[in-house]
Amino acid sequence: MADSSGNPNASSRTPTGIPGLDKLLTGGLPKNRTILLSGGPGTGKTILSSQYLVNGILDYEETGVYVSLDENKQHVFEEMLDFGWDFQDLENNKKLIFLEASPIRYLPAEIKVGKLTVGRKEFSMATLIEMIKTSVREIGAKRIVVDPVTTLVFQYEGVAAQRNALVELMEALADTGATCLITTELRRPGFERSLDYEEYLAHGVILLQQLQVGKSLLRVIQVEKMRKTPLDNQPRPYRITDTGIEVFPRESVL
């Protein structure tokens, strides 16, 4: 059944509400899936993630959970006010739960849990997952952001351990029934690059890059992969304004 916009897949999509982006995504992100948002420094990963949550709350009545693994709560709240997004008000009204999970990086090497002694990494992941699930249940969250997952995964040594940690987190996110956006650092930018392992694990991958096009430095968004979605994988320009991110889905870069 189509919605009022004529999109036959509307019931299976979670609209981001970000100008131009839903056009690229055929109506939004696949509902109840985990999408990887990958980009370098300054590309707007936190802005896009926050915009996704705020639009969900204000425009679609979908509460959200924001998991910050790097920035502290005060910094994020202050930065988002620059775009007119009052996280404190949303939190006060039980529309948003902000989990400041960065302290897990500073736990001691071993922790006593009852009679058991567990390693810092195992305790950190178990604690994080329980925090997320409890928060989702508390407000009935339909959207989750984890920003950036790189901080958590890089606690583990070796690609196999990092991959297993990410699989564990993604499975836990899937169990919540929410539509999830997790961010990561894009380690090898450019159009010609090898894929990072986390890109294979996610249901979808959106890339944010700043690239040299001619003599100009251009911000470019690309939907590299998106299951259950007719794919426009061409790089498209976007800009960061004082109201958030705006994508230009009909403009070409190359």
Q: Domain boundaries in the chain? A: 30-208
Query: What confidence score (pLDDT) does residue 169 get?
Result: 93
Is residue 184 predicted with pLDDT exceeding 80? yes
The pLDDT of 147-158, averaged and rounded, is: 86
Q: How confident is the model at residue 62 (pLDDT cuts 50, 70, 90)?
A: very high
Distance CA 75, CA 82 (A): 11
Closest C-alpha among 133, 127, 122 to residue 102 = 127
Distance CA 254, CA 246 (A): 19
Question: For residue 210, what are the β-bridge partners?
Answer: 219
Is residue 11 predicted with pLDDT exceeding 70? yes
CA–chain centroid gap for 65, Å, is 11
Pairing of the two strands 64-68 and 143-147: parallel
How much of the chain, in percent, has pLDDT values that exceed 90? Answer: 62
Q: How confident is the model at residue 5 (pLDDT cuts 50, 70, 90)?
A: very low
Superfamily of chain region 30-208: P-loop containing nucleotide triphosphate hydrolases (3.40.50.300)
Closest C-alpha among 169, 125, 120 to residue 145 = 169
Distance CA 179, CA 202 (A): 12
Is residue 112 predicted with pLDDT exceeding 90? no
The answer to whether the CB of 238 falls within 8 A of the CB of 247 is: yes
Question: For residue 146, what are the β-bridge partners?
Answer: 67, 182
Distance CA 139, CA 62 (A): 10
Is residue 34 predicted with pLDDT exceeding 90? yes
Is residue 4 predicted with pLDDT exceeding 70? no
Q: How far apart are the first and last CA of the chain?
A: 36
The answer to whether the CB of 136 falls within 8 A of the CB of 65 is: yes
Least confident of 15-19, 169-173, 181-185, 191-195: 191-195
